[in-house]
Amino acid sequence: MKKAIIIGITGQDGAYLAKLLLAKEYHVIGVTRSAKKHNFKRLEFLGIDNSIEFVEMPQISFNQICDILKKYNPDEIYNLSAQSSVGASFNIPIETVSYNILSVINWLEAIYTTKPEAKFYQASSSEMFGNVSEQVLPLKESNIFCPASPYGVSKASAHWITINYRESKKVYTTCGILFNHESCLRGDSYIVKKALNTALKIKMGLSKTPLILGDLSVRRDWGYAPSYVEAMWLMMQQEVAADFIICSGNCISLKELIMLIFTKLDLSFDKDVQIDPCLFRPLELETIYGDNSKSKDELGWSYNLTTEELIDQLILDETAFIEWELKK
Ligand code: NAP
């Protein structure tokens, strides 16, 4: 039985990855800052909270990480833990940058000194690219980084230190450069989850609160989170470690995406959507989308959802999630 540690298991990707690895009969160990039950909502929704062994690490501790590695002797370590909000990173830059970099280097150094044959996955982000000119789109693994937020800076730095352990210390490390991926398990403040949840609650007669959003002109590459965690696992099964862009390759503005949701639910965009300038970010990426040909060719990752199909799936999933929460 293979053993995997997932750091950040209580988040969206951690929950879906844990489900995938359990289905592959891994022993899954989840590292969390707080092993209190209220933090396990996503794992409960997927029905896997009782199948995971949890380890609480309230603060980054090199010694505790070494102890965890010695105790569990993992084959694979997935680092999904981060202050993951771009918007919040402008308000809490010190927390974002220090946690998102120091957590990674502590794990890498502990792996190198304690369990150098273990494989390490780092959750890198399309936000590392920053604002790019239209000519370089779609983005490939070889494009340079020019991050435009404290979050992007933290992820770029964590990305390079992860590569550095691969090149200088020969640890199997791999970075997944993931573009936005969504699901009903996304944090409540994230735009697509917020839009789906608010629109569905209006539709179901559970709420009259309108959807309040920031800048709708941004254009992004959105995908489906459960499919993206499959790519993470594939990246850890290769002979030679490398870095991969994981994206849909589709690009649509936030306004078009929200209108699509409202049209599908037969709701009025003009009546139920309001713009609040306070939600605009100090610096925003305008248009960004990626090229997933390397991950498809080299990993055999298959992803073919169109944006319409993605929205249909997300509506189904969010409906199930709201109904589950109502029954709790
Ligand atoms: P998420 O839902 O926000 O989960 C991240 C987890 O990190 C949380 O559940 C939390 O677990 C832990 N964490 C540690 N320090 C934190 C802090 N200061 N604030 C908040 N949480 C903190 O993230 P996700 O969407 O699953 O994404 C997984 C990883 O991929 C993250 O590193 C993210 O930056 C990256 N990423 C995500 C996307 C996306 O579209 N979702 C795109 C590119 C990259 P505990 O409370 O249990 O410790």
Q: Please confirm, yes or no, whether 125 is among the known catalytic residues.
A: yes
234 with 313, same domain? no
- Is 175 found in the same domain as 311? no
Q: Whose CA is nearest to atom 4 of ligand 1?
A: 11
DSSP string, 78-111: EE--S---HHHHHHSHHHHHHHHHHHHHHHHHHH
Residue 50 domain-assigned (yes or no): yes
Give the percent of the chain with pLDDT over 90. 93
Task: Tell me, in angstroms, the distance from the centre of ligand 1 to residue 79's CA.
Answer: 9
Report the chain's mean pLDDT, rounded to a whole number.
Answer: 96
User: Pairing mode, if any, of strands 219-220 and 252-253?
Assistant: antiparallel
Residues forming a β-bridge with 287: 219
Please tell me whether residues 84 and 151 are part of one structural domain.
Answer: yes
144, 260: one domain: no
Residues 256 and 164 in one domain: no
220 strand-pairing partners: 252
- Residue 209 sits in a domain whose CATH number is 3.90.25.10
Same domain as 257, residue 274: yes
Active site residue 289: no
Query: Domain of 323?
Result: 187-220+250-287+306-327
Is 19 inside a domain boundary? yes
Ligand 1: centre distance to CA 144 (Å): 24
Cα dist from 39 to 12, 36, 67, 136, whole Å: 12, 6, 23, 40
| Same domain membership, residue 140 and residue 128 | yes
Residue 294 lies in a domain: no
pLDDT at 38 over 90: no
Q: What is the pLDDT of residue 281?
A: 87
Catalytic residue among 16, 72, 151, 289: 151
For 208, other C-beta atoms within 10 Å of its C-beta total 8
Mean pLDDT of 257-269: 95
**Catalytic residue (choose from 76, 127, 182, 318):** 127
Claim to verify: residue 109 and residue 215 sit in the same structural domain: no
Check pocket membership of 255 for ligand 1, CB cut-off 6 A.
Answer: no
Q: Torsions phi, psi of 317, nearest 5?
A: -65, -45
Give CA–CA dist 284/86, Å, rounded.
Answer: 10
Residue 283 confidence (pLDDT):
86
Percent of the chain with pLDDT over 70: 100
Mean pLDDT value of segment 253-269: 95
Amino acid at 90: F
Are the C-beta atoms of residues 10 and 30 closer than 8 Å to each other? yes
pLDDT for res 231: 98
pLDDT over 90 at 284, yes or no: no
> How far is the centre of ligand 1, averaged over its atoms, from the C-alpha of 266 (Å)?
33
Whether residues 193 and 115 fall in one domain: no
The response to whether residue 89 sits with its C-beta less than 6 Å from ligand 1 reads no
End-to-end CA distance of the chain: 34
Under the banding of pLDDT at 50, 70 and 90, the label for residue 255 is very high
> Are residues 207 and 95 located together in one domain of the fold?
no
Look at residue 259 and tell me if it is in a domain: yes
pLDDT in tens, 127-140: 999 999 999 999 99
Query: Which of 261, 249, 231, 244 lies closest to 288 in space, CA to CA?
Result: 249
| pLDDT tens readout for residues 146-203 | 999 999 999 999 999 999 999 999 999 999 999 999 999 999 999 999 999 999 999 9
Q: Are 324 and 206 in contact (CB under 8 A)?
A: no
Q: Which residue type occupies 314?
A: L
Residue 9: predicted pLDDT = 98
Q: From the alpha carbon of 12, which atom of ligand 1 is closest?
A: 26
User: Is residue 297 one of the residues assigned to a domain?
Assistant: no
Rounded Cα–Cα distance for residues 5 and 69 (Å): 9
Closest atom of ligand 1 to 96 CA is: 18
Q: How big, in percent rounded to 5, are the helix, strand and coil portions of the chain?
A: 50, 15, 35
Q: Is 154 a catalytic residue?
A: no
Q: Is residue 301 part of a domain?
A: no
- Please provide the DSSP assignment of 39-74 as one string: GGHHHHHTT-GGG-EEEE-SS--HHHHHHHHHHH--
pTM: 0.97
Whether 42 and 76 have beta carbons less than 8 Å apart is answered as no
Let me know if residue 298 belongs to a domain: no
Per-residue model confidence as pLDDT tens digits over 202-246: 999 999 999 999 999 999 999 999 999 999 999 999 999 999 999
Does the pLDDT value for residue 142 go beyond 90?
yes
Look up the CATH number of the domain holding residue 107: 3.40.50.720
Total domain count for the chain?
A: 2
The predicted structure's pLDDT at residue 235: 98
Instruction: Determine, yes or no, domain membership for 160.
Output: yes
Is residue 29's pLDDT more than 90?
yes
Contact 151 CB / ligand 1 (< 6 Å): no
Residue 138, preceding bond cis, omega within 30 degrees?
Answer: yes
Residue 285 in this model has a pLDDT that exceeds 90: no
Q: How far is the C-alpha of 302 from the C-alpha of 292, rounded, in Å?
A: 10
Structure tokens given for 1 = 């039985």
H/E run at residue 166: helix 150-169
DSSP 3-state of 201: helix
Q: Which one, of 35, 42, 30, 12, lies nearest residue 77 by Cα?
A: 30
Do 212 and 141 sit in the same domain of this protein? Answer: no
Residues 174 and 310 grouped into a single domain: no
